[in-house]
A and B are shown apart, each in its own frame.
Chain A
Amino acid sequence: MKKILDVKNLNVSFNTYGGEVKAVRGVNFDLHKGETLAIVGESGSGKSVTTKALMGLLPKPHGYVKEGEILFEDKDIAKLSEKELQKIRGKDLSMIFQDPMTSLNPTMKVGTQIMEGLIKHQKMSKTQAKERALELLKLVKIPNAEERIKQYPHQFSGGMRQRVVVAIALACNPKVLIADEPTTALDVTIQAQILDLMKDIQKKTDSSIIFITHDLGVVANVADRVAVMYAGKIVEIGTVDEIFYNPKHPYTWGLLGSMPTLDSDDSELYAIPGTPPDLLNPPKGDAFAPRNQFAMDIDFEEQPPMFKVSDTHYAATWLLDERAPKIDPPESVQKRIDSMASNDGKGDM
């Protein structure tokens, strides 16, 4: 598979009154054509900031890429000018935002908002753009597209608005689609519809998707690979199966344990104690150590490197070091993993 995006040692900082906040601290990942990569983490883990950096949408001048490269088709996005970025945004890279209630311009007709990118990037005439907009509205399954195209966002329900947002993002057939928690603000039933829609569209257009979420349940549904972020770093990355059935990082264990499943009545939901660290003064060792029930003394001294588990699976925890005691996931989490594995087996085969 062709590598379409390659992020190398990305560091993003924000200058605030309190000092420099290191929101993203050395993130590495890549994205292949037609693949969906999910980035999972709590709020404040740096996942949204990472995607903002990918789009060149960091709030200047406070937010900036401090170090590292974002290679898209051999161009480093982090070093492009605003003008060059404008040519890429919406055309090659596009984005779906979290809250459909606020991410559409309330005083502009929905059709115009979809057509804007088409006219800009594909040099379409107004009529051509309108035709394409209609097509897109149908693609995202909005009924009565001919009428809807003339309406304003407030005349749409939340789910419908998110479909419009998806249509805007898809307008120019982007190579990479970044979805920043696209279903978080929606009702559960609508969430499923939007997820199905995205999967469907990906099949049709063969675009790559970066899917940001804090909800592991959503991840299992849509992603090929998963990156788990904590305190501005990727702590574990691997295929969906590897992350779900063979997690190595205690934080991933915690996430899995805290995910409700259909048959969760026999096991308690697990909560990760404490709160994420203050990125104004990141701790010296492993940022997760204070919340880690399996923390070792080394965790408070040294940041763990990425340990290789398999060709596709890496995790940053000292537990994988040969000198560490052998620790298994807590019983409740292990049970959860087992039950998911058996469920999946029944479902898929």
Chain B
Amino acid sequence: MADDNKKNLDHLFVLTEDNQQSNEKINRPVTTFLQDAFRSLRRNVAAMISLVVLIIIIVMAAFGGQMNEYDSTTQNLSWAKMPPKVQGLENIGWLGLDGTDSETIEASTVEAAKERGLARFKNDEEHITFDVKSEGDGTEDSAKVVATHDVYASKDMEDTYFWFGTDGLGRDLWTRTWEGTRISLFIAFLAAAIDLVIGVAYGGISGYYGGRADNVMQRIIEIITGIPNLVVLILMIIIMGSGIVSISLALAITGWTGMARIVRGEVLKLKNQEFVLASRTLGAPNGRIISRHLIPNVASLIIINTMFTIPSAIFFEAFLSFIGLGLQPPTASLGTLIDDGFKSLTTYPHMLIFPAILISVIMIAFNLLGDGLRDAFDPKMRK
């Protein structure tokens, strides 16, 4: 067989002509940095799901409030604190969307438990059903009864549906939740935008001009970051009062230093690179160098940082509401809704659940999307 091979291959033992050129060809299509980044972002499942979720939430924040016939401010005390009820989902018990309140009561006997169950729901015997879990033997808390109160029936409102229930003043929580989301997102976007403008300008100037100006500007930042954000935030709100704009401003004032530091660092690094020097030797004015060479190269860092500013602003807005510095009623934000919800957490948990889930989902989605963007644009930053 070896002999066969030898014969067949004999003709191949000649020098190949013009061999050296063959290796110069490039066999992969060229992809730009942006294309590359977006491709790897698209492959990041968590980030893409987050993006879709965020888009849905933003659309709902814009239009969700108009999806039923209620508005967010009309009060009707007779409708107060009604549990959520959704068409079609009312028969699936564990979802808790059947328009009933229920409570597990323990007492020494079933009778005593039922007694307390009646008292709990205003003795509205007609619409209370009891489910005896444990008969009890007369000792303390041995009997266990679940009392379920059909709130909608008791108010003769069987055909009414409050999807997220109502709050203590009888306002529709579905509408208020989405309007609250809208306001929370608005505050966050506004704060992030102000943040971005101040931070990029400050960091850009500091990094670009360098020297003395940079030195002074950096000392200022050092002192500002030495002051806890929380303290500044609270003082600002106390002084300016709590409105949408003042909260955004307060958030931006405490938040811009991070952006400024990142931009400065990057500009400092970029401005000594060859392409910038080349542009400068060609006589490009500062403005042109900043806008054409520096900003585009810092852009990805700015976007990533903004992605993390937004959830933190949403958190702080809610936090301010929670400690009593939030928006004034009747304006709702996720924070004020959660704050309200806490007041009746033990008896009417539905008031807390929906805004709490929503704020958590928004925060998670923004963080995941931010992580995805960071990995796609700058794998080195992955810390």
Partners in one complex: yes
Partner-B contacts on A (CB < 8 A): 273-275, 289-302, 318, 321, 323-325
Q: B12 is contacted by which of A273, A275, A292, A298 (Cβ under 8 Å)?
A: A298
User: In the complex the two chains form, is B13's CB within 8 Å of A325's CB?
Assistant: yes
A-B contact count (CB 8 A): 48
Residue of A nearest to B13 (CB): A323
> A113 to B13, alpha carbons, bound, how many Å?
57
User: In the complex the two chains form, is B19's CB within 8 Å of A297's CB?
Assistant: no
Instruction: Return chain A residues, CB-CB under 8 Å to B12.
Output: 296-298, 301-302
Chain A CB within 8 A of B272 CB: no
User: In the complex the two chains form, is A298's CB within 8 Å of B13's CB?
Assistant: yes
Instruction: Return chain B residues, CB-CB under 8 Å to A290.
Output: 19, 22-23
Interface SS majority for chain B: helix
User: In the complex the two chains form, is B15's CB within 8 Å of A302's CB?
Assistant: no
**Shortest Cβ gap from A321 to chain B (Å):** 7
User: In the complex the two chains form, is B20's CB within 8 Å of A298's CB?
Assistant: no
> A330 to B142, alpha carbons, bound, how many Å?
101
Residue of A nearest to B15 (CB): A296
User: In the complex the two chains form, is B20's CB within 8 Å of A297's CB?
Assistant: no
Instruction: Return chain B residues, CB-CB under 8 Å to A292.
Output: 19
Residue of A nearest to B16 (CB): A295
> A301 to B13, alpha carbons, bound, how many Å?
11
Chain A CB within 8 A of B126 CB: no
Residue of B nearest to A297 (CB): B12
> A301 to B10, alpha carbons, bound, how many Å?
12
Q: B23 is contacted by which of A291, A299, A301 (Cβ under 8 Å)?
A: A291
Instruction: Return chain A residues, CB-CB under 8 Å to B11.
Output: 297
User: In the complex the two chains form, is B16's CB within 8 Å of A299's CB?
Assistant: yes
Q: B20 is contacted by which of A274, A301, A302, A324 (Cβ under 8 Å)?
A: A274
Number of B residues, CB within 8 Å of A: 14
- For this complex, 12 residue pairs linking A to B, each with C-beta atoms less than 8 Å apart, are A274-B24, A289-B19, A290-B19, A291-B20, A291-B23, A296-B12, A296-B14, A297-B11, A297-B16, A298-B12, A302-B12, A324-B13
User: In the complex the two chains form, is B15's CB within 8 Å of A298's CB?
Assistant: no
User: In the complex the two chains form, is A298's CB within 8 Å of B23's CB?
Assistant: no
Chain A CB within 8 A of B223 CB: no
> A275 to B22, alpha carbons, bound, how many Å?
11
Supposing A301-B9, A302-B9, A323-B10 touch, asked if A294 and B15 sit within 8 A by C-beta, the answer is yes
User: In the complex the two chains form, is B15's CB within 8 Å of A325's CB?
Assistant: yes
> A296 to B11, alpha carbons, bound, how many Å?
10
CB 8 Å contact bits of B4-31 with A (1 = contact, 0 = none):
0010011111111001101110000000
> A74 to B6, alpha carbons, bound, how many Å?
38
Interface SS majority for chain A: loop
Instruction: Return chain B residues, CB-CB under 8 Å to A324.
Output: 13
User: What 9 A-B pairs have minimum CB-CB distances, sorted nearest first?
Assistant: A298-B12, A274-B23, A297-B12, A323-B13, A290-B23, A295-B16, A295-B19, A324-B13, A296-B13
Residue of B nearest to A274 (CB): B23
> A325 to B9, alpha carbons, bound, how many Å?
14
**Shortest Cβ gap from B1 to chain A (Å):** 14
User: In the complex the two chains form, is B13's CB within 8 Å of A318's CB?
Assistant: yes
Instruction: Return chain B residues, CB-CB under 8 Å to A275.
Output: 23
By CB atoms of chain A within 10 A, which of B6, B11, B12 has the most?
B12
Instruction: Return chain A residues, CB-CB under 8 Å to B24.
Output: 274
> A268 to B23, alpha carbons, bound, how many Å?
23
> A274 to B11, alpha carbons, bound, how many Å?
27
Q: B14 is contacted by which of A291, A293, A297 (Cβ under 8 Å)?
A: A297
**Shortest Cβ gap from B142 to chain A (Å):** 58
User: In the complex the two chains form, is A293's CB within 8 Å of B10's CB?
Assistant: no
Instruction: Return chain B residues, CB-CB under 8 Å to A302.
Output: 9, 12
Instruction: Return chain B residues, CB-CB under 8 Å to A273.
Output: 20, 23
> A294 to B17, alpha carbons, bound, how many Å?
9
> A275 to B23, alpha carbons, bound, how many Å?
8
> A177 to B12, alpha carbons, bound, how many Å?
44
> A299 to B13, alpha carbons, bound, how many Å?
8
User: In the complex the two chains form, is A295's CB within 8 Å of B13's CB?
Assistant: no
Residue of A nearest to B23 (CB): A274
User: In the complex the two chains form, is A296's CB within 8 Å of B10's CB?
Assistant: no
Residue of A nearest to B11 (CB): A297
> A289 to B19, alpha carbons, bound, how many Å?
8
**Shortest Cβ gap from B362 to chain A (Å):** 32
Residue of A nearest to B22 (CB): A290
**Shortest Cβ gap from A196 to chain B (Å):** 39
> A291 to B9, alpha carbons, bound, how many Å?
21
**Shortest Cβ gap from A240 to chain B (Å):** 30
Instruction: Return chain A residues, CB-CB under 8 Å to B14.
Output: 296-297, 325
Residue of B nearest to A285 (CB): B12
User: In the complex the two chains form, is B10's CB within 8 Å of A300's CB?
Assistant: no
> A273 to B19, alpha carbons, bound, how many Å?
11
Instruction: Return chain B residues, CB-CB under 8 Å to A291.
Output: 20, 23
**Shortest Cβ gap from A323 to chain B (Å):** 5
> A273 to B10, alpha carbons, bound, how many Å?
28
Instruction: Return chain B residues, CB-CB under 8 Å to A294.
Output: 15
> A293 to B13, alpha carbons, bound, how many Å?
14
Residue of A nearest to B10 (CB): A323
**Shortest Cβ gap from B14 to chain A (Å):** 6
**Shortest Cβ gap from A318 to chain B (Å):** 7
By CB atoms of chain A within 10 A, which of B9, B13, B20, B22 has the most?
B13
> A300 to B22, alpha carbons, bound, how many Å?
12
Instruction: Return chain A residues, CB-CB under 8 Å to B10.
Output: 323
User: In the complex the two chains form, is A298's CB within 8 Å of B19's CB?
Assistant: no
Residue of B nearest to A273 (CB): B20
Instruction: Return chain A residues, CB-CB under 8 Å to B22.
Output: 290
**Contacts A290-B19, A323-B10 supplied; 5 other A-B pairs, CB < 8 Å:** A295-B16, A296-B14, A298-B13, A323-B13, A324-B13
**Shortest Cβ gap from B39 to chain A (Å):** 13
Residue of B nearest to A298 (CB): B12
**Shortest Cβ gap from B329 to chain A (Å):** 54
**Shortest Cβ gap from A270 to chain B (Å):** 13
> A292 to B20, alpha carbons, bound, how many Å?
7
**Shortest Cβ gap from A330 to chain B (Å):** 13
Q: A300 is contacted by which of B6, B16, B23 (Cβ under 8 Å)?
A: B16
> A323 to B12, alpha carbons, bound, how many Å?
10
